[in-house]
């Protein structure tokens, strides 16, 4: 067996050589230095990484996510323990899966694989170019499946679309600093990306419809107010006439009394 056929089961070579012999990520970053050193040290020393991430391949990632990942997050607790989600993300940085494998990860539906999609989206944000990040992640802004998220404040509920939106807009997610990605408007101006069409429709058309609806509502309210004013004025006249009749009756009664 040649040296090229030997597969390193641990992360020692990946970390010690700092990826000098490994291919760079598509966005030009070194996979071994994407995560901060303190976070990487906690991951490699964690019990989950040593037991569950030993000698994994791309297919085994699916099983580990389904069996062990029940929330997204970075580190938690007083000891800043890394989450299984973060450990598997670091393992993906070692494996460097292809775009075809990542599409397969994200294609899974159902409740059992929602954390697999979140993990793949997180990895895409870390390693792909801006154009590919937007084109890959934006379709999942319509994913309404619930996710549990664990942080320093405990566990809270979020959704896949909120997590994806955070990946596209935030600077730090899951104890990892995200590389500075240009905004979508800049890429549209450079004609790298086509303008995004919202599932709700064109924004200008929606604003025009809202203005027309508000105008018709105002007209209906004004018309109703005028009608109500006429009725109230008529009712006031009727009230005055009745009061005048009562007053004349009281005057006649007083004049007839001895």
| Residue 22: band (very low, low, confident or very high) from pLDDT cuts 50, 70, 90 | low
pTM here is: 0.74
List, for residues 122-137, the tens digit of each pLDDT value: 999 999 999 999 999 9
Give the torsion sign (CA, 88, 91, 93, 97).
negative
What mean pLDDT do residues 189-210 have? Answer: 77
How high is the pLDDT of residue 10?
58
Q: Phi/psi at 183 (nearest 5 deg)?
A: -70, 160
- Percentage of the chain beyond pLDDT 70 is 71
Please tell me the distance from the alpha carbon of residue 254 to that of residue 258, in angstroms, as a whole number: 8
Q: What is the pLDDT of residue 197?
A: 77
Per-domain residue ranges for the chain? 3-196, 198-258
Residue 230 has pLDDT above 90, yes or no: no
Q: Using 50, 70 and 90 to split pLDDT, how confident is the model at 108? A: confident
Please, are residues 124 and 93 in contact by the beta-carbon 8 Å criterion? no
């Amino acid at each position: 067996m040649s040296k090229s056929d030997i597969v390193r089961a641990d992360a020692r070579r990946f970390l010690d050589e700092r990826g000098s012999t490994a291919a760079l990520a598509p966005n030009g970053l070194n996979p071994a230095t994407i995560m901060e050193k303190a976070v990487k040290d906690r991951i490699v020393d964690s019990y989950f990484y040593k037991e569950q991430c030993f000698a994994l391949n791309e297919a085994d990632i699916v099983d580990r996510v389904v069996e062990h990942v029940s929330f997204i997050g970075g580190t938690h607790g007083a000891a800043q323990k890394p989450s299984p989600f973060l450990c598997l993300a670091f393992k993906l940085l070692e494996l460097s899966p292809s775009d075809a494998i990542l599409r397969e990860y994200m294609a899974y539906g159902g409740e059992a694989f929602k954390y697999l999609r979140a993990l793949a989206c997180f990895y895409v944000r870390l390693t792909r170019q801006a154009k590919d990040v937007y084109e890959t992640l934006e379709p999942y802004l319509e994913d309404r499946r619930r996710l549990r998220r664990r942080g320093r404040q405990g566990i809270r509920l979020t959704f896949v679309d909120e997590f994806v939106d955070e990946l596209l807009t935030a600077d730090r997610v899951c104890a990892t600093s995200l590389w500075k990605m240009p905004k979508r408007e800049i890429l549209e101006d450079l004609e790298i990306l086509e303008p995004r069409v919202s599932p709700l429709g064109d924004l200008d058309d929606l604003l025009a419809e809202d203005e027309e609806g508000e105008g018709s509502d105002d007209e209906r309210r004004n018309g109703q107010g005028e009608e109500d004013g006429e009725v109230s004025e008529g009712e006031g006249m009727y009230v005055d006439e009745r009061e005048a009749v009562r007053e004349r009756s009281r005057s006649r009664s007083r004049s007839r009394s001895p």
